Amino acid sequence: MTHGRLQDKVAFITGAGTGIGAATAIRFAQEGAKVVICGRRAEPLNEVVQQITQAGGKAEAVQLDVSNEAAFCAALEAVVKRHGKLDILVNNAMAYSWGALESTSTADWHSNFSTSVDGTFWGTREAMKWMKPHGGSIINLSSICGVLGTAWMAGYSAAKAAIINFSRAAAAEGAASGIRVNVVIPAVVETPATAGMLSDAASRQNTEKLIPMGRVGQPEELANAILFLASDEASYITGAALPVDGGRSAVLVTAL
């Protein structure tokens, strides 16, 4: 099953029990990586590990909330101790609140940052320390909400925008050590997180009308973009923010 684009690389993927994270873990393993996945719930993580190992890949799971700085940093250190290195980090875990700005509490506002921004910062900081001797690739997940204004999601939008410019700064610092830092920017992808907005035919059709390609994305399509940025094929790409959104961010309006 090994194709070799990530042969013998050690990769850590956050929020990998479902959706984009799970698809990325499976894709990485297909390409020969040793994959360590984390998330808050053990059951979906174990299912992903089982799927990978049954197909002949290498994977292990760590139950972890990346908004816990000490636990996240310790988990990354443990990976390096077990496997001798860390080559790839994918900061995919996120959390969000939804609601009108005028009724958003400070606690709700902060909840958007503790996982998405703080977790991405802690993961990137620790990974850069471990990658410094040999280089590596860090891929951070943003969102179209971090590029275009989205009503009812001010906190999430602000957090996802922060990830883009944080990653540019990290790329500038890591480049001399061969550490590449890039961002992938999805729009609507068919995952458990978007199940509500795609739950009926009318809602799905209204969403798809806004996407030039006429359909929502699949987790595997995001995973393929993440794989490219993680691989040596992207050896001269750092500080980039790549939309993988069916053209959604390229248009002001589309014909309905």
pLDDT at 197 over 70: no
- At residue 177, the pLDDT reads 98
Residue-wise pLDDT for 206-229, tens only, equals 888 889 999 999 999 999 999 999
Residue-wise pLDDT for 143-182, tens only, equals 999 999 989 999 999 999 999 999 999 999 999 999 999 9
Backbone angles phi, psi at 59, to 5 degrees: -155, 150
Residue 207, in any domain of the structure:
no
pLDDT, mean of residues 60-81: 98
pTM: 0.95
136-153 b/e (C-beta count within 10 Å ≥ 16 → b): bbbbbbbbbbbbeeeeeb
Expressed as residue numbers, the domain containing 50 is 10-189+218-241
Query: Domain count of the chain?
Result: 1
Alpha-carbon distance 237 to 248, whole Å? 23
pLDDT at 60 over 50: yes
- At residue 2, the pLDDT reads 44
Residue-wise pLDDT for 23-36, tens only, equals 999 999 999 999 99
Residue 195, in any domain of the structure:
no
Residue 118, in any domain of the structure:
yes
Residue 253, in any domain of the structure:
no
Q: Could you tell me the CATH number of the domain that includes residue 226?
A: 3.40.50.720
- At residue 205, the pLDDT reads 83
pLDDT at 130 over 70: yes
Residue 21, in any domain of the structure:
yes
Residue 5, in any domain of the structure:
no
Residue 254, in any domain of the structure:
no
Residue 210, in any domain of the structure:
no
- At residue 151, the pLDDT reads 93
Active site residues: 156
